Amino acid sequence: MLKNKKIYIILLLLMVIMTFMSACGEEVADLTEETSDVKLDQYLTAPVPDGKPNPVEWQDAEIDTEEKKTCTLEIRCDSIFDYMNDFNEDKLTVLPDDGYIYKKKTVEFYEGESVFNVLLREMKQNAIHLEFTMTPIYNSNYIEGINNIYEFDCGELSGWMYKVNGWFPNYGASRYKLEQDDEIIWVYTCDLGRDIGGEYVLQHPSNDEDDEDEKSDSDDKDNN
C-alpha cells in the first residue's frame, strides 16, 4: 500500500512539472512573438523614434577640422541630493555643493564630431576626471565616472546618462553626431533614469563582462 502511495505521489509530481513546463513554453512563445517585430541593428540598437537622429558609427564619421560649430554642454549630478542615504560616503568630498560639475557653457566642435568627442575634449581642457569603457558590442564608449562620481556610487540603479535637446538617445554617445546649436546634458541618475525625467535606454555590459573592453582615463588616452 505504501509503495503504491509513493508511486501515486511521484506520478502526480511529474504531471505538475509537465503542466508547468508547458505553460512556461507558451509564455516564452508569446513573448517571442511579441518582440519578433522589433528589429535591432548590428549593435543591438532598437529603431530610433520618428524625428530623432539615427546613430552614426564613429568609424564612418567624416570630421572636418576646417568647419567649426558650437553647442552647449552641461554636467550635473544634483539628483544625488534626493538619495543621500544611498550615496557613497567616501565620495562626499567630490560632490559639488550645487550639484553642477560643469555648468552650461557654449563650446566649439568640428563638423562630424560626436557627443563623446566634445565630452572628452572639455573634460581634458578643464582638468575634470573622466573614465570610460569602449564597448565593442554597442560600438560606443560607456561613461563610468565623471569627477570621480561613478556608476553605482548612489545605489545599484545609478549611473551617467546623456540627453541632447531634451531627448535621451537609445544609443551611445560615440554614435551621436552633433549639429549646430545642439544642447548636451550629462546627468547622473539614481533610479535608472526615472528620477531625471527619462528612461534607462543606454545599453552597456556590466563591469565584469567583456574582457576585451578597453578601459581608459581622459588623462592618458584619446578615444572616439
Q: What domains lie within the chain, and their CATH numbers?
A: 64-217 (2.170.130.30)
Rounded to an integer, what distance in angstroms lies between the CA atom of residue 50 and that of residue 186? 23
Rounded to an integer, what distance in angstroms lies between the CA atom of residue 73 and that of residue 123? 11
Residue 163 DSSP one-character state: E
Rounded to an integer, what distance in angstroms lies between the CA atom of residue 155 and that of residue 180? 36
What pLDDT digit, counting tens, does each position of 124-166 carry? 999 999 999 999 999 999 999 999 999 999 999 999 999 999 9
Can you tell me the mean pLDDT for 62-85?
Answer: 98
Confidence of residue 15 (pLDDT cuts 50, 70, 90): very low
Give the amino acid at 154: C
- Which set of grid coordinates corresponds to residue 158? 545609478
Rounded to an integer, what distance in angstroms lies between the CA atom of residue 218 and that of residue 188? 19
Average pLDDT, the chain: 82
Residue-level pLDDT at 149: 98
Residue 78 DSSP one-character state: G
Instruction: Return the higher-pLDDT residue of 1 and 36.
Output: 36
Residue 208: pLDDT above 60?
A: no
What lies within 8 Å, CB to CB, of 174 at 6+ separation is: 58, 114, 115, 116, 139, 140, 141, 223, 224
